[in-house]
Amino acid sequence: MSDFVNKTIGQLVRETTARYPQNLALVCPDFGIRQTYSEFYQTCRNVAKGLIALGIKRGDNVAVWTTNIPEWIYLQFALGMTGGILVTVNTNYQTHELEYILKQSDSTTLFLMESYRDTNFYDTICKILPDLDNHKTGSRASEKLPSLINIIYIGKRENTPGMLRFNDLINLGEKITDKQLDDRLNSLDDDDVINMQYTSGTTGFPKGVMLTHHNIVNNARMVGDVMGMTEKDSLLIQVPLFHCFGCVMSSLNCVYHGSTMVALEFFDPLKALQTISAEKCTAINGVPTMFIAILNHPDFDKYGMSSLRTGIMAGAPCPIETMNQVRTKMHCPEIVIAFGQTESAPVMTMTRRDDPVELRVSTVGRLLPDIEGKIVDPDMGIDLPPNTQGEIVTRSACVMKGYYKMPEATEDAIDRYKWLHTGDLGEIDENGYFKVTGRIKDMIIRGGENIYPRELEEFLFTHPKVVNVQVIGVADKKYGEQVLAAIQLKTGQTASPEEFTEFCQGKIARHKIPRYWEFVESYPTTASGKIQKFKMKEIFEKKYCS
| Residue 361: count of CB within 10 angstroms of its CB | 20
Position 243 scores a pLDDT of: 92
Question: CATH assignment of 9-20+32-207?
Answer: 3.40.50.12780
Q: What are phi and psi of 24, to 5 degrees?
A: -65, 130
| Residue 544: count of CB within 10 angstroms of its CB | 15
Closest C-alpha among 331, 396, 333, 342 to residue 369: 396
Question: How far from 458 is each of 296, 361, 389, 532, CA to CA, in Å?
Answer: 19, 10, 17, 18
Closest C-alpha among 279, 285, 263 to residue 334: 285
* The Cα angle at residue 194 between residues 190 and 198, in degrees rounded to 5: 140
Question: How far from 254 is each of 195, 224, 261, 351, CA to CA, in Å?
Answer: 17, 8, 6, 19
Answer whether 141's CB lies under 8 Å from 126's CB: no
Position 202 scores a pLDDT of: 43
Position 204 scores a pLDDT of: 57
378 Cβ neighbours under 8 A, 6+ residues apart: 390, 391, 425, 440
225 Cβ neighbours under 8 A, 6+ residues apart: none
Question: In whole angstroms, what is the distance from residue 178 CA to residue 74 CA?
Answer: 17
Position 200 scores a pLDDT of: 60
Position 155 scores a pLDDT of: 95
Question: How far from 122 is each of 50, 151, 166, 324, 431, CA to CA, in Å?
Answer: 22, 11, 14, 43, 52
Q: What are phi and psi of 302, to 5 degrees?
A: -80, -10
Answer whether 105's CB lies under 8 Å from 87's CB: yes
Question: How far from 411 is each of 209, 341, 439, CA to CA, in Å?
Answer: 13, 17, 20
Question: In whole angstroms, what is the distance from residue 496 CA to residue 243 CA?
Answer: 38
Question: In whole angstroms, what is the distance from residue 88 CA to residue 21 CA?
Answer: 28
Q: What are phi and psi of 255, to 5 degrees?
A: -65, -35
Position 545 scores a pLDDT of: 83
Q: Which CATH class is domain 444-545?
A: alpha beta
**Where would I find the H helices in 27-116?**
37-54, 70-82, 95-104
Question: How far from 405 is each of 102, 109, 517, CA to CA, in Å?
Answer: 13, 19, 43
Q: What is the DSSP secondary-structure string of 420-467? A: EEEEEEEEE-TTS-EEEEEETTT-EEETTEEE-HHHHHHHHTTSTTEE
What residue spans define the domains of the chain?
9-20+32-207, 444-545
Q: Please list the residues that pair with 86 across neighbouring strands.
A: 62, 195
Crossing angle (nearest 10°) for helices 178-187 and 70-82: 70
Q: What is the DSSP secondary-structure string of 47-72? A: HHHHHHHHT--TT-EEEEE-SS-HHH
pLDDT tens series, the chain, 546 aa:
468 999 999 999 999 999 999 999 999 999 999 999 999 999 999 999 999 999 999 999 999 999 999 999 999 999 999 999 999 998 888 888 899 999 999 999 999 999 998 889 999 999 999 999 999 999 999 999 999 999 999 999 999 999 999 999 999 999 999 999 999 999 999 999 999 999 865 445 789 999 999 999 999 999 999 999 999 999 999 999 999 999 999 999 999 999 999 999 999 999 999 999 999 999 999 988 899 899 999 999 999 999 999 999 987 767 778 889 999 999 999 999 999 999 999 999 999 999 988 888 889 999 999 999 999 998 899 999 999 999 999 999 999 999 999 999 999 999 999 999 999 999 999 999 999 887 787 888 887 777 878 878 988 998 999 999 999 999 888 788 899 999 999 999 999 999 999 999 888 878 889 999 999 999 998 777 778 888 999 999 999 986
4 exposure class (CB count in 10 Å sphere: 0-12, 13-18, 19+): middle
Q: What is the 3-state secondary structure (H, E, C) of 466-482?
A: EEEEEEEEEEECCCEEE
Question: In whole angstroms, what is the distance from residue 347 CA to residue 341 CA?
Answer: 6
